[in-house]
Structure 1
Amino acid sequence: MTVVLFDLFGVIARHQSTEGKDRLVRTAEVPAAAFWDAYWACRQPYDQGELTGPAYWRQVADSLDVRFDAHRIADLIDADIAGWSAVDEVMVALVEELAASGRRIALLSNIPEELATYYEEHHPWLKRFSLRAFSCRIGHAKPDLGAYEWCLNALRAAPDRVLFVDDRDENIRAAETVGIRGHRFTTPERLREALTP
């Protein structure tokens, strides 16, 4: 039986909301363009677990040549979590259905520790996944090939027995480089078709 390895954001969970983005910029009190340049430039070490939330936000502040005190950093962490917290209930239902049918499902997500902890505390359906490979805990973030190799080792599965579902082409291509089959997610209906024998 094929293992279905899901991405989280853009597949089961929503991408960062517009409201969440606006809240972050307001909280930081810096121009939006400069903020987002710094936010993403510093993000991979945070996603890979090399930085704590406060350390990440201090790096962002340094990149912006400003200072965030401890209170503002706490507010930024809260705002960041809130902006990534929405899920697609149709996809959650599909995950539940696959698990109930005995299908083996796993998760590979680029996610920092604070957000991973939030999801674990607020979304019990995460327990349906036989493997939860969070980048902050495995030390690899997509599209680093090490992320997919880590999952294959943990799943004890041959690459051609794994179907990776992600919304980003670069992540699909990386998975295919190590022999994993890929499905670029567009809609729950198309994914359901791809999963039907």
Structure 2
Amino acid sequence: MSTDRRRIVLFDLFGVIARHQRPGSLEKMAARSHTSLDAFTTAYWAHRPPYDAGRHTASAYWTDVLHALSRPADADTIEELRLTDIDSWSRVDDRMVSYVRNLRDRARVALLSNIPADHADAFLAAQSWLHDLDHVAFSGKIDAAKPDPAAFHHCVTALHAAPADFLFVDDREENVRAARAVGMDGHVFDGQEELAAVIDAWLPGSAGQ
């Protein structure tokens, strides 16, 4: 068991280190499904939670989406939609990646993201910096998605730490509230400069302490 008691900055991925979904992607998938954007968007998000939380496979998710749209769920359509979806969430903010990597000189750094298992595999393959972090927790791999307390407890256990050792950073207020409810500190992300000041003040030995 690790005896490293340095503080831990636990990052969300999308909207913090990675970009939100690529513009135009939902329109592209809706066209491939031969349905309207509004109908596709509703089905896409309505069936997402069990896929994010590792309870549904990609095939089951896309079958549910297509059936909700009264469209055939053939294997070729499912695979094309799956790959388009993965690509739509593939962009990162290079400045934030550099900041996160450099932060490891001062703190332990981990990641907690709501992302399906097959998306997680693609991200791990494409983004080598993820392998340098102290822990990476993807909801589709740990069978728990934020704001479920189980997702935060997974990170506490995996890093042999206490909740008070963590500062959780996410762009969604409800996820930050959930982290605080389990005993972590939390910050709603609104830009790198503000975040850097918050972390500087939070880490022991910094000027803000």
Same fold (TM over 0.5): yes
Q: CA RMSD in A?
A: 1.1
The structure 1 segments of at least 4 consecutive aligned residues displaced by more than 6 Å after TM superposition are none
Counterpart for residue 203 of structure 2 = none
Counterpart for residue 23 of structure 1 = 28
Tell me, yes or no, if the aligned pair for 1:105 and 1:128 is still in contact at 8 Å.
Answer: no
Counterpart for residue 65 of structure 2 = 60
- Rounded to whole Å, the distance in 1 between the matches of 2:179 and 2:32 is 37
Aligned-pair distance for 1:117?
A: 0.7
- Rounded to whole Å, the distance in 1 between the matches of 2:13 and 2:117 is 14
The one of 114, 119, 132 equivalent to 1:115 is 119
- Which residue identity lines up with residue 131 of structure 1 in the other structure? H
- Rounded to whole Å, the distance in 2 between the matches of 1:159 and 1:43 is 28
1:49 is the counterpart of 2:70:
no
1:106 is the counterpart of 2:131:
no
- Rounded to whole Å, the distance in 1 between the matches of 2:45 and 2:27 is 15
- In the alignment of these two chains, the number of paired residues is 196
Tell me, yes or no, if the aligned pair for 2:170 and 2:187 is still in contact at 8 Å.
Answer: yes
TM-score, normalised with respect to structure 1? 0.96
- Which residue identity lines up with residue 165 of structure 2 in the other structure? R
Unaligned runs of 5+ in 1: none
Tell me, yes or no, if the aligned pair for 1:106 and 1:130 is still in contact at 8 Å.
Answer: yes
Cα shift readout 1:30-78 (whole Å, capped 9, x = no counterpart): 1111111111111111111111111110011121222121111111011
Counterpart for residue 184 of structure 1 = 188
Counterpart for residue 7 of structure 2 = 2
| SS of residue paired to 2:24 | helix
Aligned-pair distance for 1:22?
A: 2.1
The structure that is helix-richer by fraction is 1
- Rounded to whole Å, the distance in 2 between the matches of 1:102 and 1:192 is 12
Counterpart for residue 170 of structure 1 = 174
Aligned-pair distance for 1:102?
A: 4.7
Tell me, yes or no, if the aligned pair for 1:6 and 1:166 is still in contact at 8 Å.
Answer: yes
- Rounded to whole Å, the distance in 2 between the matches of 1:156 and 1:81 is 32
TM-score, normalised with respect to structure 2? 0.91
The one of 72, 76, 82 equivalent to 1:77 is 82
- Rounded to whole Å, the distance in 2 between the matches of 1:102 and 1:29 is 51
1:86 is the counterpart of 2:96:
no
Counterpart for residue 143 of structure 1 = 147
Tell me, yes or no, if the aligned pair for 2:67 and 2:73 is still in contact at 8 Å.
Answer: no
| SS of residue paired to 1:107 | strand
